[in-house]
Structure 1
């Protein structure tokens, strides 16, 4: 379990993290989301002791990361995929890490196979693609068979097959009872991978909730409307505050009004309606609505 309490990190007069508190529980994948500059990477660095909080505390399994006698066996982290010695082979990179904790070479070969790098284990990491570098970083995170796994943007550089592999891996780790914290900007992937979300903006907590509950806050994203009186109905809905996007003649998406209201307006206006199909908001819709005022770089 990861527990952050009233975390603050200042750089000069700027608060990168501002009174941030949350808990990441075992047995589920927790997505760590927020706009660029929100403080996600800084928070992750504080969790693993690379940055010291200005104030507040963060613990892993009840104690600060630096107090664990074998941290690789407690917390596995990927914060920067390119943080490898480019002249070392993939296997030697992992061996160097393993020797700091008395981890066997058998485990090194095991995690290389797990991430799909067994065939290139003796190639130098400097020649790896971004996706291969991500796989090597994930292998390093899993090397100590840790109870807690922290990954910062692990999908970057992965092809579709790699994305699906990572999704299954994360779910599998959570099923085993591990604590899994993953940051990502890919809302479509978080929607099918994460069960819980911690969302921050400008260093502050915006939401600590499940994916479904966050989406339910937004409700219906839009309504697909089909009408032989498309132009007239479109104008009517716009006058009542709807945002209308055309799909094809007589068919459009209307946001800002629910299906019942659209139907009532059409009836009152004497306009025929052949279809009203509500579209539930996506995680991306809900996330953008929640973080609208927290986006620092537009």
Structure 2
């Protein structure tokens, strides 16, 4: 478990993390979202003791990371995959980590296989692609078979097979009862990977709730309808709990009725339908709605639209 209590970090006049209080629980994949500059990486660095909080605490398993006798067995982290000597082979890199972290040497082959790197284990890391480097970083994070796994942008540079591997891996780790804390800017992937979300903006907590509940905040499910007799259909659908809007002459957006009911109403009146599809709010929709005012970098068009 990761527990943040009033966690705050200042760099001079810059407030990077502002009074953040969050509990990341075991058994679920918790996604960590926020715009660029929101304080995600700084928060993760404070959890690992790489940055000292200005105030507040960051605990792992009830104590600061630095106070664990065998930290690699408690927390496995990937913050910067390129932090590897390019002249070392993947195997030797992991062996050195194992030797200094009190991890059995046999564990190296286990994580190489887990990361799909066995075939290139004796190649120099300097020749690795970005995706292979990410896989090596994940292997290093899992070296100590840790109870807590914290990955910052792990899908960066991965091909579709690699992205799917990360999804299955993180969900599998959570199913084993581990604490999994995962940051990513890839919303489509986070939507199918994370069970719970922690969202920050300008260092402050914006949301801490299940992925389903967070998406639901973006708006109601609607039905997109196209018909040459849209006006007639609209009159049949409008009711006390049903909203029908139209931006095009032959198109309706219906909120409050499922697609099946709309189709049955149209069929009973002999009204042809050219399209009938359910539109659900996405994680990206919800994210933009919640963090729109906290993004530091926006174009003039985005500011005008907001």
Any conservation in 1 of the 2:29–2:170 contact (CA below 8 Å)? yes
2:167 is aligned with 1:144 = no
Counterpart for residue 68 of structure 2: 68
Counterpart for residue 218 of structure 2: 218
- What's the secondary structure of 1:17's corresponding residue? strand
Counterpart for residue 89 of structure 2: 89
- Unpaired runs of 5+ residues, structure 2, are 235-242, 263-270, 299-306
TM-score (norm 2): 0.85
2:28 is aligned with 1:28 = yes
Aligned length: 284
Counterpart for residue 10 of structure 1: 10
Distance 1:259 1:123, change over 3 A: same
- Counterpart-to-counterpart distance in 1, 2:108 and 2:246: 55
- Counterpart-to-counterpart distance in 2, 1:38 and 1:176: 30
- Counterpart-to-counterpart distance in 1, 2:111 and 2:291: 37
- What's the secondary structure of 1:46's corresponding residue? helix
- Counterpart-to-counterpart distance in 1, 2:20 and 2:179: 19
- Counterpart-to-counterpart distance in 2, 1:168 and 1:210: 19
- What's the secondary structure of 2:217's corresponding residue? helix
- Counterpart-to-counterpart distance in 2, 1:228 and 1:91: 65
Q: CA deviation at 1:258?
A: 2.3
Counterpart for residue 258 of structure 1: 255
Q: CA deviation at 1:214?
A: 1.0
Q: CA deviation at 1:285?
A: 1.2
- What's the secondary structure of 2:58's corresponding residue? strand
Map residues 45-194 of structure 1 onto 2, 5 A cutoff.
45-194=45-194
Greater alpha carbon shift after TM alignment, 204-213 vs 285-294: 285-294
Greater alpha carbon shift after TM alignment, 110-119 vs 276-285: 276-285
Any conservation in 2 of the 1:6–1:21 contact (CA below 8 Å)? yes
Q: CA deviation at 1:218?
A: 2.4
Q: CA deviation at 1:221?
A: 5.2
Any conservation in 2 of the 1:221–1:285 contact (CA below 8 Å)? no
Q: CA deviation at 1:290?
A: 1.1
Any conservation in 2 of the 1:225–1:273 contact (CA below 8 Å)? no
- Counterpart-to-counterpart distance in 1, 2:231 and 2:152: 47
Q: CA deviation at 1:118?
A: 0.5
- Counterpart-to-counterpart distance in 2, 1:253 and 1:50: 54
Any conservation in 2 of the 1:17–1:42 contact (CA below 8 Å)? yes
Any conservation in 2 of the 1:33–1:184 contact (CA below 8 Å)? yes
